[in-house]
Structure 1
Amino acid sequence: MQILTPHVYWAQRHGEIYLRVELSDAKNLDINVQENNTLQFRALGHGAKGEHEYEFSLEFLEPVRPEINHKSTQRQVDIKIKKQEERWWDRLTLQEKKPVFLAPDFDRWLDESDAEMELQAKEEEKINKISVESRVRKDPYLGLKRGYLFMYNLVQFLGFSWIFVNMTVRLFILGQDSFYDTFHSTADMMYFCQMMAVLEVVNPLLGLVKTGFFPAMIQVAGRNTILFVIFGSLEEMQNRPVVFFVFYLWSTIEIFRYPFYMLACIGTEWKLLTWLRYSIWIPLYPLGVIAEAVAVIQSLPIFDETRLFSLPLPAVMGQSLSFSCILQLYLALMFLGLFINFRHLYKQRRRRYRSRKRKVH
């Protein structure tokens, strides 16, 4: 019989190599790794050229373990090989030029960052499998912590819901006129909610939640700068329409975020709420940052004129440094913060739906 080469598809993880050989009804399989780190494959089966004997060899980029797991089905031969060292390979073979019969297996293909997220999700899944009883024994204050987090999220949900409903009702009754007194009608509740939000920076430091400290600090510090420094200290800003858009975008995001975390404290999930929590921020978060940027830009001439918060300078350098100069620097940092938090939230969303997809399958 003529010896032919089958089509081979490959993918990798940090610790494993996956090969899929397009050979149906394979028989007389002979698969092994030689001492020179080369995989030898030979089998009789039905491939692209019909019923023939097919073979190929691959010299791997780095050492692999000699043990091979393979499974032959009516359609293909699946091969799994463990790497000697768990690390990401730039390519599969030692030779830079890819063999003509080799192609990526897009059904299994992940890039390096996706593979790292998959590893992290697996670790989280292992942690979640620990029984509630054992966790209670290890942490006698678990119930107290959950109770605190539940109440915190409930209070924040009620506060932002009040702001959202109040602004919505006033918008329907007064129309555009409601834009100009948003601050006076909702500021007290917004002050309360944003002062409470400082706990979101403290909670990760105390180990109460797994959320990263840095993204939480960026959001809380950014919002409090807009609320207390821009709106709170400048009466000229308090009757401008930008206040309405900033408050409305903030509250719209939070009325879905806080109940999601609140239900997570008691092990409950609503699919629609989960989708809203991980999706609605995609358009609203950038819009919120744009509205905040507009507020900063509108406040610059006011700070220049009033010299409020100006920093005194030595006589040689001038009288004082206007606070607007600091705000211009903050304006640039605001969009850097947008990029950092957007990337963080997007990774959270991908990790969430990747782990849910695995559970379904």
Structure 2
Amino acid sequence: MSRTPEILWAQRSDKVYLTVSLPEAKDIVVKCEPEGLFKFSATGPQEEKYEFTLDLYGAIAPEGCKAKTGWRNILCSIQKEQRGWWKRLLKSEEKTPPYLKVDWNKWRDEDDEESDCIDLHVRSTCSAELAYNDDTAADNDGESSDDDGLLYLPDLEKARGL
């Protein structure tokens, strides 16, 4: 029998970010399917099996699905098929599962993203500018800098009050 780790999520108009809280994970498998199915499996530190499947609210671009493994978390960046804000993470309107929580440290409202465009003083070219920055800024591994924001994580023990 498998377990489900805690998952934090946030969105932008073009991406969804998932942070899977699973220290010292190994054998990590992440699969993204175009209709919005996100599958995850990994082995925990005591060889316990973790897995989950999320039926996301909208369609995604599988080629834009990236994952980075850290010591405490697996950070996933999922490209939306179409730009826009989802009303919720999951397609289902049922109550959100207890293991799925909003990541307020990465959360960005639609209004916040628009105000960034106004701050650029070039509202009409804002989307092109943001896309340009995503495509051209690269780190040593050749990945875009939008994933660099995934590297900052609050200390989970502190966040949980331990």
- TM-score when normalising by structure 2: 0.68
Partners in 2 of 1:32 and 1:74 — Cα distance?
Answer: 21
**Judging changes above 3 Å, is the alpha-carbon distance between structure 1 residues 33 and 111 closer, same or farther for their aligned structure 2 residues?**
same
* Counterpart position of 1:66: 62
Q: 1:119 to 1:81 in 2, by over 3 A?
A: farther
CA gap 1:92/1:122 in 2 versus in 1, 3 angstroms:
farther
1:89 alignment partner, SS class: coil
Deviation of 1:76 (Å): 0.3
Name the one with the larger strand percent. Answer: 2
Find out whether 1:22 has 2:18 as its counterpart: no
In the alignment of these two chains, the number of paired residues is 125
3-state SS of paired residue (1:24) = coil
Find the counterpart in structure 1 of residue 91 from structure 2.
Answer: 94
Structure with the larger RCO, 1 or 2 (CA within 8 Å, 6+ apart) = 2
Q: What is the identity percentage for the equivalent residue pairs of Structure 1 and Structure 2? A: 31
Distance 1:18 1:35 in 2: 16
Matched, 1:111 2:109: yes
Q: Would you say the 8 A contact 1:61–1:89 is kept in 2?
A: yes
In 2, Cα distance between the equivalents of 1:119 and 1:27? Answer: 40
CA distance change for structure 1 residues 121 and 8 in 2, over 3 Å: closer, same or farther?
Answer: farther
Q: Partner residue of 1:82?
A: 79
Q: Which runs of 5+ in 2 are unaligned?
A: 130-148, 153-162
Return the index of the structure with the highest Cα Rg.
1
Map of 2:132 onto structure 1: none
Letter in 1 for 2:62: P
**Higher share of residues assigned helix:** 1
Which stretches in structure 1 are left out of the alignment for 5+ residues? 127-357
Matches within 5 A, 1:181-192: none
Cα RMSD over matched residues? 2.6
Runs of 4+ with deviation above 3 angstroms: 118-126
Instruction: Give the Cα–Cα distance (whole angstroms) in 1 for the partners of residues 117 and 21 of structure 2.
Output: 28
**Corresponding residue of 1:57:** 53
Instruction: Tell me the amino acid that sits aligned with residue 65 of structure 1.
Output: A
Partner of 2:155: none
Which residue type is aligned with residue 113 of structure 1?
A: D
Matched, 1:43 2:42: yes
What whole-Å deviation, never above 9, does each CA across 1:246-296 have from its counterpart, x for those lacking one? xxxxxxxxxxxxxxxxxxxxxxxxxxxxxxxxxxxxxxxxxxxxxxxxxxx
